[in-house]
Structure 1
């Protein structure tokens, strides 16, 4: 899980480099990132075979991939305009959207603790975005939008796990995300990346395949509740890499806002874990 976190931090740095330095469009970056990752992951896909394509809910798979693809596009645009540390911290609001969606769409119980922790976390996000500041830009809202889209994909994943195998869920994402990204790329003109951009895209593809594999391996050998705290390591990993590569350093308002998001996320995770244990799950 730690290695996966380092891999995802490397992905974010390469994506930001592709947008800020190489000047690649979000559609080009998203397509080549996942297409190359698909190529590098082909041996794993081949091992699963066609049995992993059996499904009773094709519409849910498509909806999940559409939300994921939209989240990727928004995220790549955000990284081209927002400092890495700010984007990562704001993307950590995703669990709060999951909680809201679980109540609205899945009928899960809403408690005052959930509402309070979510409000606390979003207050932290508001401090980081600082809409009252002269330095505010609407691009700062994009990581939050990406978090909301990915939360929607997570809710559909939760719905699918009741009847679909993990292999089927993962394989459909891999197979469908590339053609959707290709359609968006084609619609924007399908301009090939410049020669200097290919090294960045190849790096992003390799890291994406490796990070997804490491993440899958982690969840295969350990409980999700045990692994969740390691998700918060992505914040320091990205801060360090963003500082080393781009010289981006968080401002003073970032730290209290980020702390509020992390604390709210950890609190919700602990309460959910205790609730599952109380029900014997």
Structure 2
């Protein structure tokens, strides 16, 4: 992609990797919004089990990632922390399974995607307790504000509250565990090794979980096969976009663009299922996004000091 953005109407000629990185993240957000709606079509509408849908999506994405694995070669598999790699991928897989299970039960995508953003706050807690990182009062306050936003969206005090809406929170927790393992691994491992082990281990672990269910890896209908194949291709594309984004610009700049996934998912949910989010979404999401942006800013400052 040409990194020169030209605006002929204004005469501007802007060469900015940051703009390109932002566009990559926007592309990833759009791709994942499509994946989420396709997943609900395959599971909630067509009746495919959530475990089977998750397995096939990521198996297809893994196959499409084979060129990267071959390019990296066996040198990328050298590690002194194999157990940590395995635990990281197990946590990621559980997160994926909980996420897809929630979608299959009909948790509105606007609600699910907003709640998954609480992962940042679980990372903060884990970094303080497990990694023994110093977390100041400001970051603790931001974490509390973020969880308050999650509670506003969940509304556990409401008669309309359902236990299935906790599944995205569970996914957020396990993806936070994945992030903590990643942070620890980056101290001694190269990014190529971390990515390779995720690609190589995710599908076998997903398969083991799927074969332990009554429906196994069966896909219910021809339409479901279509949705799952498209979703798998988009998962691979989204992961490629994210990789390119972080390779093009600093993480502190790129991360805020990830929050655009919320409006993309709201639009996808409305277009496909006619779901209209309640007003509590926007208040809760505003608190979550503001708190996570603050934490990202603080972490960036600490890294630069």
TM-score range, shorter chain: over 0.9
Say if 2:170 is the partner of 1:145. Answer: yes
Say if 2:282 is the partner of 1:255. Answer: yes
Residue 49 of structure 1 is matched in structure 2 by 73
User: Could you tell me how far apart the structure 1 residues matched to 2:302 and 2:201 are?
Assistant: 35
Q: CA deviation at 1:191?
A: 4.8
Q: CA deviation at 1:51?
A: 1.1
TM-score by length of 1: 0.96
Residue 263 of structure 2 is matched in structure 1 by 236
Report the secondary structure of 2:86's partner residue: helix
Residue 192 of structure 1 is matched in structure 2 by 218
Confirm or deny: 8 A CA contact 2:98 2:171 kept in the other structure.
yes
Cα deviations across residues 99-138 of structure 1 (Å, max 9, x unaligned)? Answer: 0000011111121111111111101100110111111000
Residue 159 of structure 2 is matched in structure 1 by 134
* Unaligned residue ranges in structure 2 (runs of 5+): 1-24
Q: CA deviation at 1:262?
A: 0.8
Say if 2:246 is the partner of 1:222. Answer: no
RMSD: 1.0
* Unaligned residue ranges in structure 1 (runs of 5+): none
TM-score by length of 2: 0.89
Residue 12 of structure 2 is matched in structure 1 by none
Say if 2:152 is the partner of 1:124. Answer: no
Say if 2:56 is the partner of 1:36. Answer: no
User: CA distance change for structure 1 residues 191 and 62 in 2, over 3 Å: closer, same or farther?
Assistant: closer
Say if 2:289 is the partner of 1:265. Answer: no
Q: CA deviation at 1:154?
A: 0.4
Residue 128 of structure 2 is matched in structure 1 by 103
Moved over 6 A (4+): none
Residue 161 of structure 1 is aligned with which of 181, 186, 208? 186
| Residues matched between the structures, number | 278
User: Could you tell me how far apart the structure 2 residues matched to 1:186 and 1:272 are?
Assistant: 41
